[in-house]
């Protein structure tokens, strides 16, 4: 059996483009180029039936290393805690006050983009500090 080398993370959401643009800013990702014959994503969306316009969006790591994120429109809102979440690794290798400063700085940047801050989880004997947050549609993620 071959091992999997690539994967995509898929989010259900109400506004795929808004959520994709948020995550592009968080991760330094980019929107992929529109399909071949279209100059822009707006041109592509106008070619679709009304009910399919804006039904999905994606963002990609420009280096090709990180996973592609895919956002698909669903009619229902999120009603329970995420079973899977992303850890945005901004404090790797840092400890103590230096780690907290990095988490707080990134948190401030993301709040300005529409994220919501959670309660800081302080370091203990097993784990370093992390900061739970929510994206622009309430999906949980952690600054780690």
pLDDT for residue 125: 85
Query: At a CB cut-off of 8 Å and minimum separation 6, what does 112 contact?
Result: none
pLDDT for residue 3: 75
pLDDT digits (tens, 9 = 90+) for 22-70: 999 999 999 999 988 999 989 999 999 999 999 999 999 999 999 999 9
Per-residue pLDDT band for 5 (boundaries 50, 70, 90) equals confident
Q: Is the CB of residue 36 less than 8 Å from the CB of residue 98?
A: no
pLDDT for residue 77: 78
CA 18/CA 4 separation, integer angstroms: 30
Q: Is the CB of residue 85 less than 8 Å from the CB of residue 130?
A: no
Instruction: Answer yes or no: is pLDDT of 19 > 80.
Output: yes
Range with the poorest average pLDDT among 30-34, 101-105, 108-112, 122-126: 122-126
Exposure on the CB side of residue 68, measured as CA atoms within 13 A: 10
Residue 81, SS3 per DSSP:
coil
**Rounded average pLDDT over 100-107:** 96
Q: Is the CB of residue 108 less than 8 Å from the CB of residue 90?
A: no
Q: Is the CB of residue 20 less than 8 Å from the CB of residue 57?
A: yes
CA 14/CA 95 separation, integer angstroms: 37
pLDDT for residue 115: 97
Instruction: Answer yes or no: is pLDDT of 104 > 90.
Output: yes
Q: Is the CB of residue 65 less than 8 Å from the CB of residue 5?
A: no
Instruction: Answer yes or no: is pLDDT of 75 > 90.
Output: no
Instruction: Answer yes or no: is pLDDT of 129 > 80.
Output: yes
The secondary structure of 3-34, three-state, reads CCCCCEEEEEECCHHHHHHHHHHHHCCECCCC
């Amino acid at each position: 059996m071959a091992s999997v080398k690539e994967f995509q993370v898929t989010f259900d959401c109400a506004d795929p483009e808004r959520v994709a643009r948020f995550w592009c800013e968080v991760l330094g990702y980019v929107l992929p180029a529109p399909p071949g014959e279209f100059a822009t994503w707006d041109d592509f969306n106008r070619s679709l039936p009304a009910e399919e316009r804006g039904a999905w969006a994606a963002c990609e790591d420009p280096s090709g290393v990180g996973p592609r994120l895919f956002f698909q429109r669903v009619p229902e809102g999120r009603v329970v805690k995420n079973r899977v979440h992303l850890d945005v690794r901004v404090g790797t290798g840092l400890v103590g006050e230096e780690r907290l400063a990095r988490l707080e700085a990134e948190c401030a940047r993301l709040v300005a983009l529409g994220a919501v801050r959670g309660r800081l989880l302080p370091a203990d004997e097993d784990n370093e500090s992390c900061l739970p947050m929510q994206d622009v549609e309430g999906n949980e993620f952690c600054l780690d």
